[in-house]
């Protein structure tokens, strides 16, 4: 239950921050916002404040900020929606009546808010836990990578490994000495947690970046406290480094140098579950990484995504007049269908991977 709540809270924060970026920018440039919603499907809560309806919907896998004039009026509009549109149009407050630069800012700032959230969360982690300045050569786990063999086997931060396949473990070098050459081999690990002895089986996985097999654990570290401003600087650098890593990984996937590995809601829920079990630091770190990824993937130049919409606005700036709205809408609809099919494929693969 805690993991389910954590998943909903984490996803809700990411979606809220993203849509708030669109919302607050739209308000600042004078665009009327019809609805600000978290989730999809039927409403479970809604309240109208001023001209905007604020709602929470039953499916917690997204959200939206519906701006007046974002879609042209048609015969399917209700009388209330048509009156709202006409009122906003007379006041010059529809989305399409704003300058290309203003619309560009409205679309862009959803992702920018996700990047800002990542920076602030990383900064908070540095303030709370400091920075690692040295590692300790003990047999106690200092960190566990999400999705790693160790995490899947249930190992946690603070566990003290005392035996691997009958070999006594006294220091960190003993662990790496056994696991690095055991790619694909099931290893029986005995560890101490809360003064009780447990055993589990871990299968090391070859990691190309290191050139040997790993199980996804790191030693305890000596940490040094940092001030708020230094934490903000480090948070920015951490975000920038991860963004660059994401971009290079995508390029390598496209060029075939790296296996394509993307996950959907099931994988995210699994990772949130693991992070919740590992502690606040892991959950915060995962939230920051997910926020950065949400911002980045929304900016990809694909129809229906924010990046695709930005491409049309850039084209309008260069051309001097907008693309026909019906043609643009059709492109986004096709893009949305492709994205939905892709999400179904990822969901099926996630479920299959989870069941295995």
111 and 219 belong to one structural domain: no
- pTM of the entire predicted model: 0.87
* Other residues' Cβ atoms within 10 Å of the Cβ of residue 206: 13
Q: What is the pLDDT of residue 290?
A: 95
320 and 233 belong to one structural domain: yes
Nearest alpha carbon to residue 308 among 292, 294, 297: 297
237 and 332 belong to one structural domain: yes
Range of the domain at 322: 100-130+226-356
User: 274-303, pLDDT tens digit by residue?
Assistant: 888 888 899 999 999 999 999 999 999 998
Question: Token pair 């005995």 is at which residue?
Answer: 190
CATH number at residue 150: 2.30.42.10
Residue 216 has pLDDT above 60, yes or no: yes
Q: What is the pLDDT of residue 260?
A: 64
111 and 208 belong to one structural domain: no
148 and 121 belong to one structural domain: no
258 and 162 belong to one structural domain: no
What is the token pair recorded at 338?
């492709």
**Inside any domain, residue 67:** no
Nearest alpha carbon to residue 288 among 120, 127, 143: 120
**Domain total for the chain?**
2
Q: Which of 168, 203, 223 represents a domain boundary (last residue)?
A: 223
336 and 347 belong to one structural domain: yes
Whether the Cβ atoms of residue 139 and residue 240 lie closer than 8 Å to each other: no
Nearest alpha carbon to residue 150 among 112, 114, 179, 108: 179
Nearest alpha carbon to residue 312 among 70, 303, 339: 303
143 and 124 belong to one structural domain: no
Nearest alpha carbon to residue 204 among 160, 275, 153, 162: 153
329 and 267 belong to one structural domain: yes
CA gap 339, 83 in Å, rounded: 33
335 and 236 belong to one structural domain: yes
**Inside any domain, residue 34:** no
Q: What is the pLDDT of residue 60?
A: 82
Q: Which of 180, 208, 223 represents a domain boundary (last residue)?
A: 223
To the query of whether residue 19 is one of the catalytic residues in this protein, the response is yes
Q: Which of 171, 195, 223 represents a domain boundary (last residue)?
A: 223
Q: What is the pLDDT of residue 1?
A: 60
Q: Does 312 or 356 have the greater pLDDT score? A: 312
User: 94-124, pLDDT tens digit by residue?
Assistant: 999 999 999 999 999 999 999 999 999 999 9
Catalytic residue among 19, 70, 152, 328: 19
User: 248-264, pLDDT tens digit by residue?
Assistant: 888 887 887 766 667 77
261 and 126 belong to one structural domain: yes
Cβ neighbourhood burial of 124 (10 Å; 0-12, 13-18, 19+): middle
* Other residues' Cβ atoms within 10 Å of the Cβ of residue 149: 22
């Amino acid at each position: 239950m805690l993991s389910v709540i954590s998943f909903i809270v984490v996803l809700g924060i990411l979606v809220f921050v993203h849509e708030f970026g669109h919302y607050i920018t739209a308000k600042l440039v004078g665009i009327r916002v019809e609805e600000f919603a978290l989730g999809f499907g039927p409403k479970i809560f809604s309240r109208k404040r001023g001209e905007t309806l604020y709602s929470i919907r039953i499916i917690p896998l997204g959200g939206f900020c519906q701006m007046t004039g974002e879609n042209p009026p048609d015969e399917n509009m209700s009388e209330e929606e048509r009156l709202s549109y006409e009122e906003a149009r007379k006041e010059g407050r529809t989305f399409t009546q704003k300058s290309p630069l203003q619309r560009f800012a409205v679309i862009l700032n959803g992702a920018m808010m996700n990047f800002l959230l990542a920076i602030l969360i990383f900064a908070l982690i540095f303030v709370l836990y400091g920075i690692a300045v040295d590692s300790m050569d003990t047999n106690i786990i200092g960190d566990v990578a999400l999705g790693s063999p160790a995490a899947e086997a249930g190992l946690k931060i603070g566990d003290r490994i005392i035996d691997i396949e009958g070999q006594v473990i006294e220091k960190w070098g003993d662990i790496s000495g056994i696991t690095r050459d055991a790619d694909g081999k099931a290893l029986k690990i005995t560890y101490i947690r809360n003064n009780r002895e447990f055993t589990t089986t871990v299968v090391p996985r070859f990691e190309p970046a290191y050139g040997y097999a790993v199980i996804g654990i790191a030693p305890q570290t000596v940490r040094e406290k940092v001030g708020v401003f230094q934490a903000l600087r480090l948070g920015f650098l951490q975000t920038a480094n991860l963004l660059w890593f994401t971009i290079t990984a995508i390029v390598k996937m496209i060029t075939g140098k790296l296996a394509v590995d993307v996950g959907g809601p099931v994988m995210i829920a699994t990772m949130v579950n693991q992070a919740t079990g590992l502690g606040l630091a892991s959950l915060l770190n995962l939230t920051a990484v997910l926020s950065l990824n949400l911002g980045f993937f929304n900016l990809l130049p694909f129809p229906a995504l924010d990046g695709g919409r930005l491409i049309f606005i850039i084209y309008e700036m260069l051309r001097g007049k907008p693309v026909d709205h019906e043609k643009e809408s059709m492109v986004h609809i096709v893009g949305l269908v492709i994205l939905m099919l892709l999400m179904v494929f990822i969901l099926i693969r996630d479920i299959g991977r989870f069941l295995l």
